[in-house]
Structure 1
Amino acid sequence: MIFTETKLSGAFIIDLDQRSDHRGFFARTFCGQEFEAHSLKPTVAQCNTSYNYQKGTLRGMHYQIPPAAEAKLVRCVRGAIYDVIIDMRPESPTFLSHVGVELSADNRRALYVPEMFAHGYQALTDESEVIYQVGEFYQPGYERGLRYDDPFFNIEWPIEVTEISQKDSNWPLLRMMTVGSGYPR
């Protein structure tokens, strides 16, 4: 695997280190030892898949707070998505900064999302499918979220948002969050 750290400390784009021959190629998509060597959490508690009927579908921005904070390894295995993460770690020099990256079945990239990062993505193709390994069990009482269109973040989604859940469209704006509502300060 080829690890490239993003501008957000601890968040990595992971490309395959392909071994090719006349049959095709082989590549490792996960290795606990390689994750540990890059100071990443190698724990996998759950594996999830998400299928999107239509391009423009948006899911996010979700995260869990301690003691159920979760790291994720996200990969698009069909179609393409635009994946965005926001650093929600108050002690981080990149607190409240975000990055976006295209993940697709063609580029075979993965995105490592550290604990306390909000995560969401937009389907860029019809029938896109995303698989992600999660380092903690989902616990609804610790789930938090941010609005995908919060003017504070000014995320530039590549295409018009055509589908979104009511829950995701109703997350609070950052300026409305307080310590008691999940704002991590």
Structure 2
Amino acid sequence: MKFLATNLPGVVVIEPRTFVDERGWFMESFNQRCFSKGLQDLGIPAPESFVQDNQSCSKKGVLRGLHYQRAPHAQGKLVSVTRGAAFDVAVDLRSTSATYGKWFALELNARNKKMLWIPEGFAHGFLALEDETCVNYKTTRYYNKEAECSVFWKDQLLGIKWPRLERYLLSDKDKNAPCLSS
């Protein structure tokens, strides 16, 4: 696996090795030892462990996010797409960080097989670019409803450059999320 640092300290793009032959392809999608070493080689501490796996499947235009959980339930997330394509976004919410309010995005899809490591202290969201976009994410803490929070996806302070689509489908929670400056 190749581990690539981003403009947000702690957020990492992971490119797995894929073996292709006439039968199809094979890849190791997660290996704790490799994951920990890849992060440590970039000077990033590895999380203790993953405790929960989540999956969603979305129609084209579904926008989920920007979600996070408050401490002590803050989650690190390892995000991948196994079907379709998603514009995946991480936003730095660490108030003492030099990159507070900055964002990083990339397309995760079933073809490029890239993954995104988003540590605690970041909001996460994605826009499904195709029908039947299946997103998987491993989390470092269990979901806690009382710690659940959101940031408005079109917050002008953030200025995220979302891909233009004919329409966006959002939950009421995401439509009504507060802006970061609120």
- TM-score of the alignment, normalized to the shorter chain, above 0.5: yes
TM-score by length of 1: 0.89
Segments of 5+ residues of structure 1 without an aligned counterpart are 177-185
Question: Which one-letter code corresponds to 1:130 in the other structure?
Answer: V
Q: Does 1:172 align with 2:173?
A: no
Q: Please tell me whether the aligned partners of residues 101 and 157 of structure 2 are also in contact (alpha carbons under 8 angstroms).
A: no
C-alpha separation in 1, matches of 2:146 and 2:20: 46
Q: Is the 8 A contact 1:56 1:159 kept in 2?
A: no
* Distance in 2, Cα, partners of 1:91 & 1:36: 25
> Within 5 A, what are the aligned runs for 1:1-185?
1-37=1-37, 38=39, 39-41=45-47, 43-52=49-58, 54-160=59-165, 161-176=167-182
How many angstroms does 1:112 deviate by?
Answer: 0.6
Alpha-carbon distance in structure 1 between the residues aligned to 2:22 and 2:133:
29
RMSD of aligned alpha carbons: 1.4
Retained in 2: the 8 A contact 1:56–1:162?
yes
Q: Distance in 2 between matches of 1:58 and 1:168?
A: 8
Spell out, residue by residue over 1:47-82, the C-alpha distance to the aligned partner (whole angstroms, 9 max, x if none).
Answer: 111011x21110000001111110001111111000
Say if 1:124 and 1:159, in contact at 8 Å, map to a contact too: no
Identity %: 38
CA distance in 2, matches of 1:58, 1:21: 35
CA shift digits 1:76-124 (9 cap, x unpaired): 1111000011011122221111011000001111111111100000000
Is the 1:75–1:109 contact (alpha carbons within 8 Å) kept by the matching residues of 2?
yes
TM-score, L = length of structure 2: 0.91
Aligned residues: 175
Q: Tell me, what secondary structure is at the counterpart of 1:175? A: coil
1:42 and 1:150, CA in 2 relative to 1: closer, same or farther beyond 3 A?
same
Q: Which amino acid aligns with 1:31?
A: N
Mapped to 1, the partners of 2:154 and 2:95 lie a distance apart of 21
Shift of 1:25: 3.4
SS at 2:34 equivalent:
helix
